[in-house]
A and B are shown apart, each in its own frame.
Chain A
Amino acid sequence: DTGVSQDPRHKITKRGQNVTFRCDPISEHNRLYWYRQTLGQGPEFLTYFQNEAQLEKSRLLSDRFSAERPKGSFSTLEIQRTEQGDSAMYLCASSTNHYEQYFGPGTRLTVT
């Protein structure tokens, strides 16, 4: 257990539905990252927060994806109008610098 928690651990949803995932980072970590990982691939960067500010966002993130970190603590990742291609593991990581990122256990999304 790295101290980063994610909820839910698993989510099954029907195509077209909206889903929201939550990440609680290690309390003193000001940086928070979201990644997406499909089977057999390494994690792909989605977005990065420093405190409450979203400083980087991948071009992979379509308009259907949005992330927030309202008080610089927990973060949410929302996917609107889910598609089957959104099925993946969504990983959250936190850190005090860009080097040592601590990953959560991930949320496994299955879109049927």
Chain B
Amino acid sequence: KNQVEQSPQSLIILEGKNCTLQCNYTVSPFSNLRWYKQDTGRGPVSLTIMTFSENTKSNGRYTATLDADTKQSSLHITASQLSDSASYICVVSVTNAGKSTFGDGTTLTVKP
């Protein structure tokens, strides 16, 4: 069964600090892995997209890594801001299929 597991479930950090969120998956055959940011009550917004051959992708203060051998990904947030408070969702897609498998997200709270 295709699964995406995210950890931690929730995280509280102080403004300005860095943090790393984890995503492990069992989806096969792998096509791509995406990280989304979802503010409360809003739709998810794409942060990064990585295919099999990519092992790192940056988007401003967000850097995602992918290890396709161990089926693990991480999202590193640098110099956190209050506006980073949101749910971060890892999504993995199989090759040539419309259905994607979503993790349950990590809820990040950045405190002043």
A residues with a Cβ closer than 8 A to B are 2, 4, 31, 33, 35, 40-45, 48, 50, 55-56, 58, 91, 93, 98-106, 108
Chain B residues near A42 (CB-CB < 8 A): 4, 89, 91, 102-105
B43 touches A103 (CB 8 A): yes
Q: How many residues of B contact A (CB 8 A)?
A: 26
Once the chains are docked, how many angstroms separate the CA of A4 from the CA of B43? 10
Number of A-B residue pairs having CB atoms within 8 Å of each other in the complex: 67
A-contacting residues, B72-86, CB 8 Å: none
- Closest chain-B Cβ to A4's Cβ sits at a distance in Å of 7
Chain B residues near A33 (CB-CB < 8 A): 98
Once the chains are docked, how many angstroms separate the CA of A112 from the CA of B34? 35
Select one of A2, A31, A45, A56 contacting B43, CB under 8 A.
Answer: A2
B98 touches A43 (CB 8 A): no
Once the chains are docked, how many angstroms separate the CA of A4 from the CA of B89? 19
Q: Which 7 A-B pairs have the closest CB atoms?
A: A48-B98, A103-B43, A42-B102, A56-B98, A45-B99, A42-B104, A103-B44
- Closest chain-A Cβ to B38's Cβ sits at a distance in Å of 8
- Closest chain-A Cβ to B86's Cβ sits at a distance in Å of 13
Chain B residues near A41 (CB-CB < 8 A): 104-105
A-contacting residues, B51-75, CB 8 Å: 51
- Closest chain-B Cβ to A51's Cβ sits at a distance in Å of 13
Select one of A43, A45, A100, A108 contacting B46, CB under 8 A.
Answer: A100
A104 touches B49 (CB 8 A): no
Select one of A40, A98, A102, A104 contacting B100, CB under 8 A.
Answer: A98
A99 touches B49 (CB 8 A): yes
Once the chains are docked, how many angstroms separate the CA of A93 from the CA of B93? 15
